[in-house]
Structure 1
Amino acid sequence: MTVSAGTAGRPRNLVLAAMIFAVAMTFIDQTIVSIAVPQIQRELGLSSTGVQWAVNAYLLSLAALFAFGGRLADTVGHRKMVVLGVLLFAGASAMCGLTPKGGAAEAWIVTFRAVQGAGGAIMFPAALGIVVQTFALRERGRALAIFFGIAGGLTAIGPILGGYLTEWTWRAIFWVNIPVAVIALILIWLSKPVTEHRPAPMDYRGLALIVAGVGLSVFGFQQSQVWGWGNPGIGLCIAAGLALLVVFFFVERRTESPLIQVDIFRIRAFLVENMVLGVAMLVFVPVFFFASEYAQIALGKSASQAGLYLLYFFLGFVVASQIGGRMLDRGGAKRPVTLGCALSAVGFALWAGKVTGLDFNSQMWYVILAGAGMGFMLSPASTDALNRASRLSYGEATGITQTVRNYSASLGLAILGTILVSQFRSRILSSLLAQGMPHAQASATASAISQSSQGGGSGNTSTIPHFIRLDFAYATRGVFYTMAGIMAVAALVALFGLERGRQADPTEEGPGAPADVQGGAAAGPAAPGGADGVGDGGARLD
């Protein structure tokens, strides 16, 4: 049975609003907790490792379970998985806010942060799949530009909201998710989105391999700043995780009903868009952490003021994402994706050149430019990747792209964090030696100060000496220049990897028309049993 997108009398804009509210929580929680870390650690008496995992457990669980969430959406039903994910996420948020003081605090908050991540991993692919199936191909770029524009903006708003809420109580940063979840559930009930799915058995062997592979390697990246890159455990975790992912790839190719149809990577545009997203996400999530630290440490801003600093990045992002979505609908993905990556590279390079002046006004337009570049590329790249999947595998395709994005974000935080710490330590050491401090004492002091900078600051930076602020600014400059180089690489991948022209909608071109004008490949891999369209009798409606 075939149902075209946007039919059945469902108000499409209401569906879009419902899905935006549903995923809003996941984006806010990527960054909101980092602002409240000092208060959480102080009130609950958490160890340094414990507070690190209060942040990392969410991201690790989210990254490891995205593929599982995408498969569930396609086989069980998108609307069911969105509702389940919202309930799971909101329930875990409430429990995080109720974390008791005492010996159980650390295990409690880390556990429920991981449950939050699991809820997000179940919810997000299903929500995005609903949006994709609700809007026709020619309208999808604009719809997903709104979706990703608001979602990306919420990542930036997280630190702002967190800064204000923690002035009342850090527990409010978790409780704020509950009214958002209630609104999302009401909108889902009102809009009653209809999508298609195909029941299929779950590939538990593939699930175990990808969860272990992503989990181990992301764990290694996350712990690099705690244990140090010299610890053999870091290399062992990353190597073991990558090896399991290689095993996963070959196992999936031989599995009758796999967790992920890995043959989807034979579609050139899907492969290239994921390469672009993978490179760009080394920068996109980390920039919020490092810019927030720079604002607090180098510029002496409060936590809430640091959040406002990031608003300029968001302003550029949200405006450009709308333009990029329309460019995708009119002429295909290559132009907005390549242009966005190039603009972002230029923006980060110019921004880096101004951070050592410790004057935000001189940086403002470059912050906006960097954000605009990200806005131009992120929505079109993500949308174009999803457009390559068949209607019955949108959740799976979302699971793949989001796994790539979160994996790269974890890698970016680890690599860029190492660059920041090493350069900050080197600058402080030079400054202390210039002041006449003995080398051994200066080295120990520099190491202690550079490590204490991680975690978003203490919320009281007014007593930081000027030379430390300047040294941190120089370290941040190195990070931003690295970000500029990364985005230049993404621009080259898009320029030489993507092909010009719009993707054709096979439902508009007629039977037998090619589904991918740009790449010459089918719109998605054949579904289990040989069916690759929506007319299969095994398809079900949510």
Structure 2
Amino acid sequence: MSRSTVKASSLTLAGLIVAVSMTTIDQTIVALSAPTIQADLGLTHNAMQWAVNVYLIATAATFLLGGRLADVFGHKRMVQIGIAGFGITSLLCGLAPTGEYAGAWLITARALQGMAGAIMFPAAIGIVVSTFPREGRAKAMASFFAITGAMTAIGPIAGGYLTQWTWRSVFFVNVPLAIAASVIVAISAPRSARRDERIDLLGALAIAAGIGAVVFGLQQAGSWGWSSPYVVGALVAGLALAALFVLIESKTTEPLVKLAVFRDRGFVIVTLATLFASMAFLSTFFFLSVYGQVSLGLTAINTGLLFAKFFVGFVIAAQIGSRRFDQVGARSVLILGGLIGADGFGWLGVSVTEIPSDPGALINPQTWPIMLAGAGVGFMISAASTDGVNRAIGASYGEVTAISQTMRNFGSALGLAVFGTLVTNALIRNLTASFASLGATSADVREVVTRMSGAHTGQPPTELAHYPAAVQEQFLHTVQLGYAHAVAWAFAGAAVAMLIVAVLGLLYPKGVVSANFDEAGDAVADGSDPATVAA
């Protein structure tokens, strides 16, 4: 590329990073501010939980439609619509009124905010793909995912400071960011042609309802239990709707998703690798956050230091992994990333049971396993996403990005549900005997476990406030150690998920970085594709 083209491409990438960072920050910033929002608006606990959870549900349910819209109407047009939508809905969230309509207002605005993000993201990736040549695409994608992913760690820190002023600023801060991103993209991003194709609305409705139902079921499994008829019903209904979607797509001439892409073994493998890596990656933020506050006694803001350590490893390894991907392809990147991640999360699972003498220190015995875990995910996650878009049929970059991001959201919900169940069961076992020896009941144990994510460290659990102060301190120490040993199960589960990524890497087709498809979706085997190298 010429110097002016490189400058324009870099400016475009910066604008897209700002835009997408709004969506990743909002995954964590609102959860931290939830108690303040709930108290100020007079919301019920259930209404506030819906305001937090509906964002993920709406995002996951809309990704595939967003990807198709980007491919048909143009990536630049749709990313600008997504940015504007996210800015407007953020403003609406911040303007939520007090009173009886507060819950409905905030939940609706958060759902629309998630949908706007889902429209924006696939279009943003489409612009990255069209802006950067294939040989430099992996590096650009690594920077994109490393920085936007790191913004997830900024959420708790920024939320802590902004909430001290007003919780509404948590949403208002997105407005100037949206304006800046929109201007940058308008100036620097290349125009993309519009296709004369229709949108499969029936398929979009089926998959949106199906994914929404599955994610909802997974989110509620922790509180309602896996045997709850509502959880089982949601999961079964979601899977049935997903099957209906496949049937609809197979009979549609202009489908929402070209199912032919799933005939490519490499695409299927990197998609599954994204799912399992996301189980480890995104659930880590929740478990590290609770561990930092409950077991280490850190404030919510200082817990962000744990995330920062994770992302130091993530960002450094993402750059190394992207260079290796450009040189030799995805196979070895998946294998090495999976093994590094499995080692890091396994080591972290062992180290969290030992409370360090200075939990808030920049360097302590837990620093290295946290960084290694982040390095494992960072090494392979952007390479998997890049390989996925390289395998797009025709120019369906939005579609394959939407598939990848749907798997990320699904993996996040699945990881939280499965690992959360492991942690909850272990915590109940750990606390039951200890609480009984101190005179507490099993009902006290259940109540403490249920409210654990909101427990304020340094203070005895409020459910035990009627006990003498000395006994409360014993309860606090028991909870700290009990959670430390329980959360080890989550990190052990994350290690298994990353080990599966390594196994998937072994199954990746040798000798191929990316298939070369024609517009009809048939693989071209002439070897002329510059991305076909030894892997």
Query: TM-score with structure 1 length normalisation?
Result: 0.90
User: SS where residue 190 of structure 2 aligns?
Assistant: coil
Residues 1:339 and 2:336 are matched in the alignment: yes
1:486 is displaced (CA, Å) by: 1.4
Distance 1:97 1:424 in 2: 36
User: SS where residue 193 of structure 1 aligns?
Assistant: coil
Which residue of 364, 377, 389 maps to 2:392? 389
Q: Which moved further from structure 2: 197-206 or 133-142? A: 197-206
Distance 1:90 1:208 in 2: 25
Alpha-carbon deviations, 1:402-458, whole Å to 9, x = none? 1111112111111122222221122111211233x3xxx52111100000013xx35
1:306 is displaced (CA, Å) by: 0.8
Structure 2 CA distance for partners of 1:338 and 1:498, relative to 1, 3 Å: farther
Which residue of 398, 402, 407 maps to 2:401? 398
1:229 is displaced (CA, Å) by: 2.0
Distance 2:27 2:302 in 1: 19
Q: Which residue of 2 aligns with 1:468?
A: 479
Which residue of 237, 241, 264 maps to 1:240? 237
Q: Which residue of 2 aligns with 1:169?
A: 166
CA contact 1:427–1:471 (8 Å) conserved in 2:
yes
Distance 2:533 2:406 in 1: 23
CA contact 1:21–1:184 (8 Å) conserved in 2:
yes
Aligned 1:236-385 pairs, distance under 5 A: 236-359=233-356, 360=359, 361-385=364-388
Q: Which residue of 2 aligns with 1:445?
A: 444
CA contact 1:197–1:392 (8 Å) conserved in 2:
no
User: SS where residue 357 of structure 1 aligns?
Assistant: coil
CA contact 1:61–1:115 (8 Å) conserved in 2:
yes
Distance 1:414 1:219 in 2: 11
Distance 1:303 1:9 in 2: 40
Identity %: 42
Greater relative contact order structure (CA < 8 Å, 6+ sep): 1
Distance 1:256 1:94 in 2: 40
Q: Which moved further from structure 2: 65-74 or 12-21? A: 12-21
Distance 1:502 1:231 in 2: 44
Aligned 1:125-204 pairs, distance under 5 A: 125-204=122-201
1:7 is displaced (CA, Å) by: 9.9
Which residue of 494, 497, 502 maps to 2:508? 497
Alpha-carbon deviations, 1:208-253, whole Å to 9, x = none? 1101111111111112223222311110110110011011112201
Residues 1:480 and 2:480 are matched in the alignment: no
1:192 is displaced (CA, Å) by: 3.5
Which residue of 401, 410, 420 maps to 1:407? 410
Letter paired with 1:337: L
Structure 2 CA distance for partners of 1:5 and 1:144, relative to 1, 3 Å: farther
Distance 2:256 2:517 in 1: 26
1:24 is displaced (CA, Å) by: 1.0
Q: Which moved further from structure 2: 84-93 or 193-202? A: 193-202
Letter paired with 1:77: G
Distance 1:511 1:356 in 2: 53
CA contact 2:24–2:151 (8 Å) conserved in 1:
yes
Structure 2 CA distance for partners of 1:496 and 1:511, relative to 1, 3 Å: closer
CA contact 1:96–1:113 (8 Å) conserved in 2:
yes
1:498 is displaced (CA, Å) by: 4.2
1:159 is displaced (CA, Å) by: 1.6
Distance 2:272 2:3 in 1: 30
Q: Which residue of 1 aligns with 2:35?
A: 38
Q: C-alpha root-mean-square deviation of aligned residues, in Å?
A: 2.3
Structure 2 CA distance for partners of 1:207 and 1:424, relative to 1, 3 Å: same
Letter paired with 1:444: A
Distance 1:442 1:271 in 2: 49
1:81 is displaced (CA, Å) by: 0.5
Letter paired with 1:447: R
Alpha-carbon deviations, 1:177-232, whole Å to 9, x = none? 11211110111122042334423111011011101111111111112223222311
Which residue of 12, 19, 23 maps to 2:20? 23
User: SS where residue 449 of structure 1 aligns?
Assistant: helix
Gaps of 5+ in 1: 521-542
Structure 2 CA distance for partners of 1:84 and 1:35, relative to 1, 3 Å: same
CA contact 2:19–2:83 (8 Å) conserved in 1:
yes
Alpha-carbon deviations, 1:380-418, whole Å to 9, x = none? 011011100145200111111111111121111111222
Alpha-carbon deviations, 1:453-478, whole Å to 9, x = none? 13xx3555444511111101111111
CA contact 1:6–1:134 (8 Å) conserved in 2:
no
1:511 is displaced (CA, Å) by: 11
Distance 1:108 1:91 in 2: 14
CA contact 2:215–2:413 (8 Å) conserved in 1:
yes
Query: TM-score with structure 2 length normalisation?
Result: 0.91
Alpha-carbon deviations, 1:354-398, whole Å to 9, x = none? 112111411011100000111101110110111001452001111
Distance 1:72 1:338 in 2: 34
Gaps of 5+ in 2: 462-475, 519-523
Give structure 1 regions of 4+ aligned residues with deviation exceeding 4 angstroms.
4-10, 504-507, 510-520
Structure 2 CA distance for partners of 1:506 and 1:433, relative to 1, 3 Å: closer
Aligned 1:425-436 pairs, distance under 5 A: 425-435=428-438
Structure 2 CA distance for partners of 1:302 and 1:209, relative to 1, 3 Å: same
Letter paired with 1:407: F
Letter paired with 1:82: V
User: SS where residue 441 of structure 2 aligns?
Assistant: helix
CA contact 1:503–1:516 (8 Å) conserved in 2:
no
